[in-house]
Amino acid sequence: MPRKISEFFQYLKYSAEEKSLNRSALITGDEKIASSIDKIIDQLKNNLGESSDLIIRSFKIESFDSNSVLVYMDGLVNKHSLEFSVLTPLMQHRKNCTTNNISRKLNIDFLINDVIHSLYCFQSSSMHTSIEHLLNGHAIVFIENTNKSIIIDSKGWETRNITEPATEAVVRGSREGFNENIQTNLTLIRRRLKTPKFKTEGIVLGTYSNTSVVICYIEGIADKRIIEEVKDRVKKIKIDAILESGYIEQFIDDHPLTPLPTVGYTEKPDALVGKLLEGRVGILCDGTPFVLTVPHLFVESIQTAEDYYVNPFYSSTLRIIRLFALLLTTSLPAFYVAVKTFHHEIIPFDLYMSIAAVREGIPMPSFMEALMMISIFELLKEAGLRMPRAIGQAVSIVGAVVLGQATVEAGIATPLMVIVISITAITGFIVPQLDIGILFLRVLLLLLANVVGFFGIALGVVLVFIHMCNLRSFGINYLYPVSPIVPADLKDTYFRFPFWKLLFDDTTISLRKND
């Protein structure tokens, strides 16, 4: 039986590999560019079909009396600049303008050097390359009898403005957020890091999507082994399309089967630059405002970029509050159920009597009650996320009534349970990156607490600790620097020391000597 299963997986693996091999040859052959304009147009149509957004504009370069054609994809180019820097100079170029010592023969180099005004252009003799660039938003000029093309950078398309990110709201700090354009995103980073040490490396991923992915880091701060590892893993990705950085995340994740994130993401340029300066590596992906950062450690879940902009006392307090919130949101329902079921004696007798009085007539055990309320809350949360904005109010009113008033009045849940679940829900929003992990842990602890009380909670917590000690993110222990303890790096974990106590060169990741 195990052999059957392993054979099945082998089959899956191989068939996936074969598919990806077939896909890598989407554009057939490396055709040479034909000499006559008609043949060139045939070649283009062979490859691209009758695409409605393929624009072919024929014209004549009068000075050399040669037929030419300008090809571009509608919507991907900046038409204005194309008109003024390419078409106008080429068409208006007269023989008498040419200097005498240039031969009257058609010369592509001469056109590029002296005629076309565009910022960036080059020549190519391969149809394959030309079409690739065409699809990337470049304009191509084919000229009769040259067997060459001129590729002109004229990218220009509609993008979203730089707006305030929706996921990471701040009171203090930059309000700029990344958008879907990778060039804009790189600009946003570059503007904050005016140093030659900031390095970027581009990779194209996805056989169909050909998405540009950029790996960036600061040389001298980021560990070389981590950079190599990231490049290695990203280059190994074989997939048809990358639509969001989440695709990359799932491919390069050290532990795909854990609910805890071992790859971080951010939508804020200042947060990303902060992480780069700590020695992390960023992975930008075209088409998404979410930039990945690796390695991602547990402490980052309770850190925000804002922590560094405010007074250290303030930010240390906030971090402790976040940690406390994490504790509450995972263990409060379990704690309540354990006390209710096993450990009556640890709460004052009067409180216990009032709980017991309220619970009179409630049909379900407190475990079921807690589980029901947690489920209702998760359903409401999901509904609130998915529904159209316009009817949002209806759901929140119904939710408030159902969770708060009606369950109590109908005698399904106790008011105390409503309070417990509300606290659990509110504190759950304080550490949003661990969302799913928290939900798993909450239910696990609830289950264990219902079976063996506090012993169960201790058991669950220790199991999770062992699990977290097992995790690594790009070679760094997930719980670093708390376990293994690295006293020098503890200055910026659960407390944030003032800046003069933090050594910038020695922050978290780059200090791997002890690892």
Asked if residue 320 binds other proteins (CB under 8 A), the reply is no
Rounded-to-integer distance, Cα 138 and Cα 43, Å: 18
Q: By CB under 8 A, tell whether 354 contacts other proteins.
A: no
The DSSP code sequence of 193-233 is --STTEEEEEEEE-TTT-EEEEEEEETTTS-HHHHHHHHHH
Contact predicate 370/417, CB 8 Å: yes
By CB under 8 A, name the one of 110, 308, 440, 454 that touches other proteins.
Answer: 454
Q: Which of 56, 170, 439, 458 is close enough to bind other proteins by CB under 8 A?
A: 458
470 binds other proteins (CB under 8 A): yes
Backbone angles phi, psi at 24, to 5 degrees: -70, -15
Q: Is 252 helix (H, G, I), strand (E, B) or coil?
A: helix
- Nearest CA to 330 out of 427, 205, 406, 456 is that of 427
484 touches other proteins by CB under 8 A: yes
Does 202 bind other proteins (CB under 8 A)? Our answer is no
Rounded to the nearest 5°, which phi and psi values hold at 383?
-60, -45
Give Cα separations from 25 to 20, 124, 131, 240 (angstroms): 9, 20, 14, 12
Shortest reach from residue 232's CB to other proteins, in Å? 21
Rounded CA Rg of the chain? 30
Q: Which two tokens stand for residue 133?
A: 């660039």
Please tell me the distance from the alpha carbon of residue 362 to that of residue 354, in angstroms, as a whole number.
14
Distance from C-alpha of 58 to C-alpha of 277, rounded to nearest angstrom: 51
Nearer to other proteins, 12 or 469 (CB): 469
CB of 52 to other proteins, least distance (A): 58
How many other CB atoms sit within 10 Å of the CB of residue 33?
22
* Under rule CB under 8 A, residue 479 binds other proteins: yes
343 binds other proteins (CB under 8 A): yes
Give the one residue of 456, 474, 481, 509 binding other proteins; rule: CB under 8 A: 456
466 binds other proteins (CB under 8 A): yes
Q: Does 324 engage in binding with other proteins (CB under 8 A)?
A: no
Question: Applying CB under 8 A, does 321 fall inside the site for other proteins?
Answer: no
Stretch near other proteins under the rule CB under 8 A, chosen from 10-18, 100-108, 345-353, 390-398: 345-353
State the amino acid at position 365 in one-letter form.
P
Whether the link from the prior residue into 269 is cis, omega within 30° of 0, is no
Task: Return the range that interacts with other proteins (CB under 8 A); candidates 186-194, 208-216, 357-365, 463-471.
Answer: 463-471
* Binding of residue 120 to other proteins (CB under 8 A): no
Which of 469, 497, 498, 499 forms a contact with other proteins (CB under 8 A)? 469
Residue of 51, 92, 396, 483 interacting with other proteins (CB under 8 A):
483
Site residues, other proteins (CB under 8 A)? 342-343, 345-346, 348, 452-456, 458-459, 462-463, 465-467, 469-470, 477, 479, 482-485, 514
